[in-house]
Amino acid sequence: MINDKIINNTMSITNREDLKEKIHDIHNYMRNNGIGYGLNSLKTFNVLYGLKKIQDYNLFEKVGLTREECKFNYLLKLANDNSNRTVEVLKETVLQELYENEILKELLFYEIPYEVKDEVYNTLIKEINDISKIEETTKELLSGKIYEYFVGRDQTAISELGAYFTNRHIVDFILSNIDIKINADGSIPKMIDMFGGSGGFTTGYMNYLNDTYKDKINWESELNKIYHFDINKDVLKSAGLELFCLSNGIIPDMNNNIKQTNSFTYNFISEKGFDLILTNPPYGGDKNTKSVKSVKRNLIKTYIQEELKSLTDKNKIEMRKAQLKEIEIINKNDEKTNEKQSVNINSCSDRILKFAKKYKLTGNDKEACSLMLMMDLLNENGKCVGVLKEGIFFDKKYKNLRECLIKNYNVSEVISVPQSQFENTSTKTSIIIFDNTSQKTTQIMFSELNVETYNTNKFIEIDNKIYLEYCKGDIKDVKKVFIKSVSIDDILNNDIISLNSKDYNKVSIIPGEDFKLVKLGDICEFKSYISQIEDNDGIYNYYSCSNNIKKCNNPNINGEYLLLGTRGTIIEAFHYKNGKFGCNNNMLLFNSKSINNKFIYYIITIFKYLLKDYITGSTIPMISKESFKNFEIPIPKTPELINKWVSQISEPYDMKQQKEKRLEELENLIKNKIKNIQENHECEEVKLGDICIINPKNPTNHYNYINYIDIGSIVNNNVEKITKIFKPYPSRAKRFIYKGDIIYSSVRPNLKGYTYISTNIDNGIASTGFILIRSSKLNYLYLYYNLIYNDITDYLVKNTSGSTYPSVNADIFNNFRIAIPKDKSLINNLQPLFDEIEELQKEIKELNDTYNEFLNKLSTSAIKNYDIFMKINENKDKEELNEEYIVDNDEEEKKQYVKKEENDEITSVASSKKSLTVNELKEQCKSLGIKGYSKKKKDELIEMINKHK
């Protein structure tokens, strides 16, 4: 039963995430039993939860309640007795007294459903009683969160209202970092959250003051210095209830301090200004969807415009034109109405409009208008902390707003917030801190929140029962990590006065003796073009912002160009092309008439990781043409030196290109031969899992270092980057790889992140984000090209799970069917082609090594501080490894629980991989073609596998 399920869950709740699930369970129970959904269920919950809070704080008489039936313990007794009078008592006594009580009417009175069965309310009352126990054990106050957990499930409300909620860890971090002081007489700074929502900042502020200053604050005099405004009355009542409890029963002023108003249109005449502003303003939510009538009008408009092209009847033409004019008038009136309803300078208060006029600002959205309001409401020597949408910090349309802020206020810090910290949105935000002091901005410190999580489960024993105190992945602490400080001069000299740290390089390039720094925009021209579409059967290369090169039949470009993707992978989508090719509209095409284009390609290839400082966007990384034009590269001072470098580097580069072209020809030839075999010869269909080992078990990793391949290493079906890593290794570095293994990215299979290991890699390890396919009964190249010909990608895409990060597991690969010819000589006949491919792979690798050696020589000559830049590059590689999002397909990881001897506390320890049996190790030797393993012991088998090359 649901009742039992909820009660049983209570036994294991020890942290915020479990607490959230507990509220969700209660919400689902209320919904499924007729109380309502979202906001409707919240109202019923708040009545009972509020009565429980009044009891917990011993405020029953103080708030003027008189009837015994209004005591929560009375209702709890009815519930425990499974009474059939509970609904009657709530309807006839409790709600009536709350309505007549002047103090509690604005806090707790709601209309609740009475047609619900008594047993439903009985269960709910008992659950709310348990929640108070949870609050005590977890030290988590619920009132400020219940609104989020109930209404936060309503995605329509979230997107339309801009109701995004600030994570409590972020609230606590902010309050502990801004050094809030109270006066000697115990008076507190006058504080507001004018976009208060469910009360995160307001209740957090009171909690902080209570914890920091204990009994030094007299809330009877100080509660009226806290202001919480919102347009939604129900969230105000929830916040008011929390303030009521935190002040030990002081009733907040529900007309002046807890005010139902639209802060964008309210003038704050009586409040004037504030000493402390803590807020997370709304963003988005003003998208005016077209009405059915509007859509129909525009369809008529389009029809008439087409009809007029062929009409000859003058009367009809005049009539149609008149109708078009009527439609235009109606559409303009609709636009005016929509503009009034949306947030912009003209629809906001006189106060915001006056501020905008004073500083000559414009603003057509909530982001701009809310920041103006924050600045205008801040008292002299006051402090403001805002959690703002990322775009406000770097979007060029907010340039003047940022200039106004840093010139007229003292902006001290911008702190980037990880996306995952908002429970109901993936929107990227940052925290900005500024003061209204006589000293204006001199420099801004840029930091980033670092969320520390527990890496194990921890179990504790209380009263002979086991509880999970915290879980692997739960948040342990939130700290800020310093990135850089930027002076006001550097910021004002920036083209868009950006407040994004990536727009300010911490280390400047010091060019070598024979080199000079130039901006790309000064030596290159950028080409405008019409986008082309791809065609898998085409013969020309087709480029997009993906790192995979595709094909097309109708090239839209002919000439020598450099290409860079403008979104997505960006850095990996960088190419040099001379000839005919096609591309979509997400590319920058540029070349130089004064500098050899190959040299520009080589030098950008060396320093392309520095482009990360020019990239904006969180969900989808982007780079603009204007930003890219400012990218500085070192070039030789003389044409002779340019030609010397181009001649040296181009020799291995051009040969590599020729051999890669031959490799492509061979691969197409093999695909066609496999197609011919399957269409013209007798074949049998077999499951991939029957002829291959999928994700073979691995021995314990004894390597002192590893050569690591992650998902980002695969470009155009080749291993483009192998990262040498010393201990400790990334948690996903577990797949031992050998020559002949096929690895396939389990995330977003549509991107075709697959390849085969063509040569032995010393201490080679791949990420568990790959599915590893080891052929035990079939030539691995035949298998690889068979998979490509049969287009395993389509099969995988159809079988993915997950929407944000669609992925597949090993079972999907196990069940994929391929056709194998019964006449095995047909496979053997392909061996000469396979041999040529393997030889080409070796030659390409050697040429690539030589090419990279020359690039390395160029880089050490081009800049003096090369060593510093290599350290930056290494750090960025580490960041990429840490940020790699994959689905871990390693199912070998087991958990074991170890009881500490020194006390009764039980902790969970994640073990290393479970050791393989001797037979399992022998099976692996057999699959790898290792000989002489049959009589070896376990340690000898492990050593043989590790040394196998």
pLDDT value of position 97: 94
Q: Residue 175 pLDDT > 80, yes or no?
A: yes
Burial of residue 676 (number of CB atoms within 10 Å: 0-12, 13-18, 19+): exposed
Contact 3, 104 (CB under 8 A): no
Global pTM exceeds 0.85: no
Structure token digits, residue 137: 């054990």
pLDDT value of position 885: 38
- Among the ranges 349-358, 451-460, 927-936, which has the highest mean pLDDT value? 349-358
Three-state secondary structure of 917-948? CHHHHHHHHHHHCCCCCCCCCHHHHHHHHHHC
pLDDT value of position 740: 87
Contact 693, 927 (CB under 8 A): yes
pLDDT digits (tens, 9 = 90+) for 841-894: 889 889 988 998 999 899 889 887 666 565 555 544 444 444 343 444 544 333
Instruction: Pick 105 or 161 by higher pLDDT.
Output: 105
Instruction: Pick 942 or 877 by higher pLDDT.
Output: 942
pLDDT value of position 18: 62
pLDDT value of position 165: 55
- Segment 113-120 mean pLDDT: 92
pLDDT digits (tens, 9 = 90+) for 916-934: 566 667 766 665 667 777 7
- Segment 194-218 mean pLDDT: 88
One fold for 168-285+348-453 and 502-655: no
Contact 198, 147 (CB under 8 A): yes
- Segment 364-383 mean pLDDT: 95
Among 344, 379, 348, 347, residue whose Cα is nearest residue 363 = 344
Contact 258, 342 (CB under 8 A): no
Match 């639209």 to its residue by tokens.
262
- How many CB atoms sit inside 10 A of residue 782's CB? 24
Q: Residue 417 pLDDT > 90, yes or no?
A: no
Domain boundaries 502-655, CATH class: alpha beta
Of 10-14, 257-261, 491-495, 863-867, the least confident:
10-14
pLDDT value of position 214: 80
Indicate the pLDDT class of residue 422, thresholds 50, 70 and 90.
very low
Structure token digits, residue 187: 């008076």
- Provide the percentage of residues in the chain whose pLDDT is more than 70: 82
**DSSP summary character for residue 565:** E
Q: Residue 185 pLDDT > 80, yes or no?
A: yes
Of 358-362, 527-531, 607-611, the least confident:
607-611
Helix H or strand E encompassing 130: helix 118-138
Extended strands (E) in 722-880: 723-726, 733-736, 742-745, 754-756, 764-767, 770-775, 817-821
pLDDT digits (tens, 9 = 90+) for 48-82: 988 998 888 888 888 889 999 999 999 999 999 99
Domain boundaries, the chain: 2-140, 168-285+348-453, 292-341, 502-655, 661-883, 895-947
168-285+348-453: CATH number: 3.40.50.150
Indicate the pLDDT class of residue 497, thresholds 50, 70 and 90.
very high
Of 58-62, 385-389, 698-702, 909-913, the least confident:
909-913
Among 768, 763, 771, residue whose Cα is nearest residue 723 = 763
> Across-strand partners of 517?
634
pLDDT digits (tens, 9 = 90+) for 316-339: 999 999 999 998 888 887 776 665
Mean pLDDT of the chain: 82
pLDDT digits (tens, 9 = 90+) for 148-166: 666 654 444 444 334 445 6
Q: Residue 20 pLDDT > 60, yes or no?
A: yes
- Segment 806-825 mean pLDDT: 86
pLDDT value of position 794: 77
Q: How far is CA 263 from CA 228, 230, 287, 358, 748, in A?
A: 10, 7, 19, 20, 43
- Segment 78-102 mean pLDDT: 94
Indicate the pLDDT class of residue 291, thresholds 50, 70 and 90.
low
Among 469, 474, 457, residue whose Cα is nearest residue 138 = 469
CATH superfamily of 661-883: DNA methylase specificity domains (3.90.220.20)
Q: Residue 897 pLDDT > 60, yes or no?
A: no
Of 125-134, 265-274, 435-444, 486-495, the least confident:
125-134
Extended strands (E) in 334-473: 378-389, 410-417, 429-435, 443-453, 458-462, 465-470
The identity of residue 902, as a single letter, is: E
pLDDT digits (tens, 9 = 90+) for 563-614: 998 887 777 788 999 999 999 888 999 999 999 999 999 999 988 877 777 8
Instruction: Pick 628 or 474 by higher pLDDT.
Output: 628
